[in-house]
Chains A and B, each alone.
Chain A
Amino acid sequence: MADQLERYLKSKLSDGVDRRDFLKLGLTATGMAAVAACGGNPTSGSSGSSGPTGPEFKVGAVLPESGVYAELGKSITNGMQMYFDSVANQAGNRKITMVSADEQTALASAVAATKKVVEQDSVDMVAGYVSSPNAAGNRDYLDGQKMPTLIANAGVNSLSRAAKSPFIYRTSFSNWQPSHPMGTYVAEKLGKKKIQLVYAKYGAGLESVAAFKETFTAAGGTIVGPDVATPFPNNGDQTPFVQAINTGEIDGIYCFMSGTDAVSFLKKAAELGTLKKVDLVSGSGFFVEQDVLAAITDAAPLGALTGLHWALTLDTKENQDFVSKYSKKFAGRQADVFAVQGFDTARVIVDALNAVKGKTDDKLNFMKAISHVAFQSPRGDFKFDPNTNNVVQTIYIRKVVHNSKLGWTNQVIDHYPGVADPGK
């Protein structure tokens, strides 16, 4: 590499460059050689003369590093890091650094983590929040501080509606989004008109099934009661809930559960053979996302149809690129929807910083730049809705299949583009 540089410099010299140009080239070459010495990783040697000259831009990442959501936090962090690395950790002539604080599980620790990054680390913006109570609970503080914030997961609808803030945008989803098109799909495209609702009884479960019910009943479907509502989290036996599914009288179920609850529920349902007795198993995508499928393997509900804003198998160049690079960068770890949300969050930050040329003192102007960011994400078209400060995105209808290469996964069979939360 050094040899090539020397040859290149000599050729430039013989072209008759002047002294100043030569100096510039020399400096660039030094920078490149430093990069080469660092194992070719362009992030570790970015302090050369070609690096940004503006002040450092600090992003406070408030994400769970411990507790039940630690895995989600890790995926989001990985996704963000991956995008920042791809632009050499700089944008708008400013070097981007991530300062992390542990969101943990409970609101008290999430509040402390937020205050830590804002007051102690003096970050320029905040990104993160996996759990909805934590995002909602920090909303007033962040809004009061006029702190530019991106919500990278928490789906509670109110953040796009009554509790929206000009300083808080959401890059992930609102709970309403993945479920709303499913009602139409089940009633109209599949013609299944009798559905029983099954859900973990907490915010996300209630908001998801409510969104499904809205379109499903509007399209002539009937919700067959009583709803099967499990405690959240359910550490006890799932049998009574599985058996409360009224297989004789329904065409199928619509379900919201995630993580550990989905795993224990689906296993018990497989043992009892309950889901085989209904025509349709449908739900929000989190019910059968990759983490759940990897845990239950052959107890997976083959053919289950769910709605989500991403799928591992989504066959676009952006997604396949993302999936393969992610797994290469993080030691074989499979990409998931949370990693995509992190990746897009970082991209919004970078694009907005570039748009304002690194000038973020005018917070409202910076937020305006954020609101105008639009791009092709691994999940498809990504843009913000000016009415809700929430992402507008495609919802994919996916079917649980067993694929020879990926094992149990979700295959995209239909999609609803441009789904926007109805908040005003």
Chain B
Amino acid sequence: MDVLNLAHGSFYMIGAYTAYSVVLATHSFWLALLIAPLLLALVGGLLELVFFRRLYRHGHLAQVLLTFGFTLVFVDLIRSGYGPTTRSIAPPPSLGGAVHFLGATFSSYSLFVLGVAVVVGALLLAAWRRLRVGAVLRAGVADKEMAGLLGIDLARVFTLTFAFGAGLAGLAGVIAAPEFAIFPAMDASVLILALVVVVLGGLGSIEGAIVGAAVIGLGYVIGTTLFPQVALVLIFGLMAAVLVVRPTGLFGRR
């Protein structure tokens, strides 16, 4: 879609806060897992219809300006609604414990997060490569005019894709809520890492995003644990090194 959306972190944050509200009201994490992505897809779809679609023509800088504005608006909305206090929700009872294997202890919920990530990643990759909708999207990104001439309703495809992306960010927010704390700056904490992942993996490539996430995720955790002083240098250095060798990222084509 070629949109640079800095408000994606906000969708993640709103997802986490929605999960907090739903869990507070219904005590059901699974319900939150259903409601938050739907809500965010709705929000994302509306924002695309009203704002973002006007900017496709104007290039990335205009998109950065608008979406950065939205991050400020969203964080203030969250703060005025929930206050700046740190919130948190517990993992669902069935995943609240720890499991032992290979002589190590793992939190069940962390394994669940890992499982969801693998499943979502695999589904996205399969849809992108094998399904018609994937082909349409690839065509739309590669050459808007040509795809339009072939009879694809690009406006609708873009709205739906944007909504889907926002819904995924909402899902990530729900999944992250029991693992981390919920607080008004959580959007920024994930956005920077996400940008690094995307740039490292290569813009417009799902394979790149998956590999980039694995490299940066492991790099960041190993870095903060073993060499805390240089953890951030490590991942940004890694990104710089990859960009020197492959300016388009690991899997980028352009």
**Complex interface: chain B residues within 8 A of A352 (CB):** none
Residues B224 and A271 in contact, CB atoms below 8 Å apart: no
Q: Is B180 an interface residue (CB 8 A)?
A: yes
- Report the bound CA distance from A201 to B83 in whole Å: 27
Q: Is A370 an interface residue (CB 8 A)?
A: no
Flag the segment in B30-38, B45-53, B91-99 that touches A. Answer: B91-99
Residues A231 and B97 in contact, CB atoms below 8 Å apart: no
Q: Is A125 an interface residue (CB 8 A)?
A: no
- Report the bound CA distance from A74 to B110 in whole Å: 35
The one of A236, A263, A273 that contacts B88, using a Cβ cutoff of 8 Å = A263
- Report the bound CA distance from A240 to B179 in whole Å: 13
Residues A299 and B90 in contact, CB atoms below 8 Å apart: yes
**Complex interface: chain B residues within 8 A of A71 (CB):** 83-85
The one of A67, A236, A237, A260 that contacts B181, using a Cβ cutoff of 8 Å = A260
Residues B228 and A240 in contact, CB atoms below 8 Å apart: no
- Report the bound CA distance from A259 to B179 in whole Å: 15
Mark contacts of B199-233 with chain A using CB atoms, 8 A cut-off: 1 yes-contact digit, 0 otherwise: 00000000000000000000011001100100100
The one of A74, A244, A295, A299 that contacts B87, using a Cβ cutoff of 8 Å = A295
The one of B85, B86, B105, B220 that contacts A236, using a Cβ cutoff of 8 Å = B220
Q: Tell me the A49-72 residues at the B interface (CB within 8 Å).
A: 66-68, 70-71
Residue of B nearest to A237 (CB): B221
- Report the bound CA distance from A239 to B190 in whole Å: 18
Q: Is B26 an interface residue (CB 8 A)?
A: no
**Complex interface: chain B residues within 8 A of A267 (CB):** 88, 90, 178, 181
Q: Is B147 an interface residue (CB 8 A)?
A: no
- Report the bound CA distance from A71 to B98 in whole Å: 33
Shortest beta-carbon distance from A334 to chain B in Å: 11
Residues A297 and B181 in contact, CB atoms below 8 Å apart: no
The one of A70, A239, A299 that contacts B110, using a Cβ cutoff of 8 Å = A239
Q: Is B248 an interface residue (CB 8 A)?
A: no
**Complex interface: chain B residues within 8 A of A264 (CB):** 88, 179-181
- Report the bound CA distance from A243 to B87 in whole Å: 24
* Given contacts A229-B228, A231-B231, A271 and B109 within 8 Å (CB-CB): yes
Residues A240 and B84 in contact, CB atoms below 8 Å apart: no
* Given contacts A231-B231, A235-B189, A237-B221, A271 and B86 within 8 Å (CB-CB): no
**Complex interface: chain B residues within 8 A of A260 (CB):** 86, 181, 183
The one of A67, A74, A271, A296 that contacts B96, using a Cβ cutoff of 8 Å = A271
- Report the bound CA distance from A234 to B225 in whole Å: 11
**Complex interface: chain B residues within 8 A of A74 (CB):** 84
Residues A291 and B85 in contact, CB atoms below 8 Å apart: yes
- Report the bound CA distance from A68 to B85 in whole Å: 9
Residues A243 and B85 in contact, CB atoms below 8 Å apart: no
Q: Tell me the B161-189 residues at the A interface (CB within 8 Å).
A: 178-181, 183, 185-186, 189
Mark contacts of A264-306 with chain B using CB atoms, 8 A cut-off: 1 yes-contact digit, 0 otherwise: 1001100111000000000000000001101111110000000
Residues A235 and B180 in contact, CB atoms below 8 Å apart: yes
- Report the bound CA distance from A294 to B88 in whole Å: 9
Q: Is B108 an interface residue (CB 8 A)?
A: yes
Residue of B nearest to A274 (CB): B105
Residue of B nearest to A265 (CB): B181
The one of A68, A241, A272 that contacts B105, using a Cβ cutoff of 8 Å = A272
Residue of B nearest to A267 (CB): B88
- Report the bound CA distance from A297 to B88 in whole Å: 9
Shortest beta-carbon distance from A248 to chain B in Å: 13
Residue of B nearest to A69 (CB): B84
Q: Is B28 an interface residue (CB 8 A)?
A: no
The one of B107, B181, B189 that contacts A239, using a Cβ cutoff of 8 Å = B107
- Report the bound CA distance from A268 to B109 in whole Å: 10
**Complex interface: chain B residues within 8 A of A239 (CB):** 107, 110
Residues A68 and B185 in contact, CB atoms below 8 Å apart: yes
* Given contacts A68-B84, A70-B79, A299-B90, A243 and B105 within 8 Å (CB-CB): yes
Q: Tell me the B70-122 residues at the A interface (CB within 8 Å).
A: 79, 83-88, 90-91, 96-98, 105, 107-110
**Complex interface: chain B residues within 8 A of A231 (CB):** 224, 228, 231
Shortest beta-carbon distance from A338 to chain B in Å: 12
**Complex interface: chain B residues within 8 A of A268 (CB):** 107
- Report the bound CA distance from A334 to B224 in whole Å: 35
Q: Tell me the A304-329 residues at the B interface (CB within 8 Å).
A: none
- Report the bound CA distance from A236 to B216 in whole Å: 12
Shortest beta-carbon distance from B174 to chain A in Å: 16
- Report the bound CA distance from A132 to B28 in whole Å: 40
- Report the bound CA distance from A132 to B223 in whole Å: 27
Residues B86 and A259 in contact, CB atoms below 8 Å apart: yes
* Given contacts A234-B224, A240-B225, A260-B181, A271 and B88 within 8 Å (CB-CB): no
Residues B98 and A273 in contact, CB atoms below 8 Å apart: yes
- Report the bound CA distance from A231 to B229 in whole Å: 8
- Report the bound CA distance from A380 to B243 in whole Å: 60
**Complex interface: chain B residues within 8 A of A233 (CB):** 189
Sample 24 A-B pairs with CB under 8 A, ordered by A number: A67-B185, A70-B79, A71-B84, A74-B84, A201-B228, A230-B224, A230-B228, A231-B228, A235-B180, A235-B189, A235-B190, A236-B220, A236-B221, A237-B179, A237-B221, A240-B225, A244-B225, A263-B86, A267-B90, A271-B91, A271-B98, A272-B105, A272-B107, A295-B86
Using CB atoms and an 8 Å cutoff, list the residues of chain A in contact with chain B: 66-68, 70-71, 74, 201, 229-231, 233-237, 239-241, 243-244, 259-260, 263-264, 267-268, 271-273, 291-292, 294-299
Using CB atoms and an 8 Å cutoff, list the residues of chain B in contact with chain A: 79, 83-88, 90-91, 96-98, 105, 107-110, 178-181, 183, 185-186, 189-190, 220-221, 224-225, 228, 231
Nearest first, the 3 closest Cβ-Cβ pairs linking A and B are A235-B189, A240-B225, A263-B181
